[in-house]
């Protein structure tokens, strides 16, 4: 599966960071949230952060513009219809996440992978809100996603081997080091070790 278009649900620090990371790797990214204003604010934060990097000589003005051109914003889940992968990065509330996954399942193409950035909530429970439990997976990025190299990948009970492979290869495409958990477990590898 070739991933070219990513939709990130959640315009907070993590969501914005994941969208920026995707755009910096040449992918088209959409940031979406419950309002267009929230998504536009996330893109404005990315623009400001990149402007500082231009000032410091870390990136060129052309590179900044190219990254920003690859980031679109939305205020609903409609862009998921064109996504190759959707990454959910919203509030850590299982009922809200299940609602979002149920909606994404209706909008996204059948082959689209649905990933959650959660560390503490059940991937299987989110998957059960869809008709594609085999295509739901955890992809946990660390803050800030643009810099931190590690991505934890964890299956739900019904996540397919193929979905795990897609998530791992996508993480590598983003220049990250994926660590794939064999089974679903609370809090993921890093948080449990720290705990």
Instruction: List the chain domain ranges.
Output: 5-194
* CATH numeric code, 5-194: 3.40.50.720
| Two structure tokens written together for 148 | 């931190």
Residue 74, C-beta contacts closer than 8 angstroms, at least 6 positions apart: 30, 31, 32, 36, 39
134/65 Cα distance (integer angstroms): 37
CA distance 89 to 16: 9
pLDDT at 183: 80
Mean pLDDT of the chain: 94
Query: Token pair of 143, please?
Result: 């803050």
Percent with pLDDT over 70 in the chain = 94
Instruction: Assess contact for 94 and 125: CB atoms under 8 A.
Output: yes
Residues of the chain predicted below pLDDT 70: 186-195
pLDDT in tens, 88-104: 999 999 999 999 999 99
């Amino acid at each position: 599966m070739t991933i070219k278009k990513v939709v990130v649900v959640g315009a907070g620090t993590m969501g914005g960071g994941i969208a920026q990371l995707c755009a910096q790797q040449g992918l088209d990214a959409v940031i979406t949230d419950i309002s267009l204003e929230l998504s536009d604010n996330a893109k404005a934060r990315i623009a400001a952060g990149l402007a500082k990097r231009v000032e410091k000589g870390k990136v060129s003005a052309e590179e900044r513009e190219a990254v920003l051109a690859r980031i679109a914003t939305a205020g609903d889940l409609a862009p998921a219809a064109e996504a190759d992968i959707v990454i959910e990065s919203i509030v850590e509330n299982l009922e809200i996440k299940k609602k979002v996954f149920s909606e994404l399942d209706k909008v996204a193409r059948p082959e689209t992978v649905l990933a959650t950035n959660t560390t503490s909530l059940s991937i299987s429970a989110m998957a059960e809100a869809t008709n594609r439990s085999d295509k739901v997976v955890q992809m946990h990025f660390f803050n800030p996603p643009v810099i931190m190299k590690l991505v934890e990948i964890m299956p739900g009970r019904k996540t397919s081997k193929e979905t795990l492979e897609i998530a791992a290869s996508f993480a590598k495409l983003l220049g990250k080091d994926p660590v794939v958990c064999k089974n679903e477990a609370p809090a993921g590898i890093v948080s449990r070790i720290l705990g």
